[in-house]
Amino acid sequence: MPVLTTDAESETGIPKSLSNELLSEIMEEIEHTCPQPRLTLIAPAPFADEISCQCQAPHEKLTITQARLGTPVDRPVRVYADGIFDLFHSGHARALMQAKTLFPNSYLLVGVCSDDLTHKFKGFTVMNETERYEALRHCRYVDEVIRDAPWTLTPEFLEKHKIDFVAHDDIPYSSAGSDDVYKHIKEAGMFVPTQRTEGISTSDIITRIVRDYDVYARRNLQRGYTAKELNVSFINEKKYRFQNQVDKMKEKVKNVEEKSKEFVNKVEEKSHDLIQKWEEKSREFIGNFLELFGPDGAWKQMFQERSGRMLQALSPRQSPTSSPTRGRSPSRSPSPPSPWLFNKASPPSSPKVASASISSMSEGDEDEK
């Protein structure tokens, strides 16, 4: 590159006599050295005074359309968001997430106002400025934290930090004698709106604490804080401690009631199971009883069978009416039975008579044969 000689130099050290074409060629050769977005989260975000942008390359102005297309390719789009961030909550994190994801390649700078400015223009804070700085450093969407940020953004501040766009919700923010502190930013085409998260804000959290002050005072007394640390009077301290004891008793009673309900439920379940099992067993017993002792039961059939067998065993067998070997002649009438057979009380008078009668009967049988 040829040596340039001139008697007058600009603030950047480049001779004023150079033509615009040669100047643009020289500036194009200067590479961007802007800090890149954080790729890992193993450390908190740095402060701006620890890692300031010392890039000497020209910082051309971008439009929102250009930034959304991903240009320029040699540096990230530098987006700025500011606030108080007292009691850092999910609404703050959501707003910073929106600011970080506005463009494909964004470097998010977050400005946090000091205690003096905040107490002057907005009011007293719960967290001091150091605590608020640290809260922002440990947010995953933040690449750089600017301490003691201005209440109203000036052109010098925007140029110093090479800010391309400012991200904030679109609601006019009236403060410091202005109807909208971001009005000049919007007019310059550098404002990108984000959406507020409904239902959560620092004011809402403080309102909950003030509304339930007694509850939180009792909570901290129970955790070991002294009445002096809580700025609580002696009488209120005793009252809170008594209320804590009452709450403990209520909690014990509640636990006993819950356990008793559980016991009753278990007993009911078991009794229901026992009743169900008893019903099943009773049905089974009744069925078995009917099968055994019912009208058509097995016991009746068995009784009938045994009764028939007993009757057969007790009743005499009848003799046959006719015999193939013995027959009576139809012409002869049977001889009349002996009279002594019908008179059991008067047997034959003597053995001789009996033997004579028997011999006569045997002769009669022989005649029949």
Let me know the angle formed at the C-alpha of 290 by 285 and 292, rounded to the nearest 5 degrees.
Answer: 95
For residue 291, give the amino acid letter: E
Classify domain 64-198 at the CATH topology level: Rossmann fold (3.40.50)
DSSP 152: S
pLDDT of the residue at 109: 97
Amino acid at 105: N
**Alpha-carbon distance 80 to 167, whole Å?**
6
In the block, residue with structure tokens 């390649």: 105
Please tell me the predicted confidence (pLDDT) of residue 322: 52
Q: Residue written as tokens 């009452």? A: 246
Q: Determine the angle formed by the axes of helices 213-222 and 234-293, rounding to 10 degrees.
A: 90
Q: 263: which 2 tokens?
A: 């016991």
**Cα(240)–Cα(236) distance, rounded to whole angstroms?**
6
DSSP 88-104: --HHHHHHHHHHHTSSS
> For residue 144, which phi and psi values (nearest 5 degrees)?
-160, 140
Among candidate residues 241, 218, 245, the one with its CA nearest the CA of residue 230? 218
Phi, psi angle pair for 15, to nearest 5°: -60, 140
Rounded distance, CA 244 to CA 219, Å?
Answer: 8
CB atoms within 10 A of CB 176: 12
What does the pLDDT read at residue 57? 66
What pLDDT sits at residue 316? 65
Each of the 369 residues of the chain gets a pLDDT tens digit; together they read 333 444 444 444 555 554 555 445 544 555 666 778 887 788 899 999 887 666 666 778 888 988 888 877 778 999 999 999 999 999 999 999 999 999 999 999 999 999 999 999 999 999 999 999 999 999 999 999 999 999 999 999 999 999 999 999 999 888 767 889 999 999 999 999 999 999 999 999 999 999 999 989 988 988 999 999 988 888 888 888 888 888 888 888 988 988 888 888 888 888 888 888 888 888 888 888 877 777 777 777 777 787 878 888 877 666 555 545 544 444 454 555 554 444 444 444 444 444 555 455 544 544 444
Task: Specify the residue for token string 């600017």.
Answer: 146
> What residues does CATH 3.40.50.620 cover in the chain?
64-198
Predicted pLDDT at 71: 72
Whole-model pTM: value is 0.60
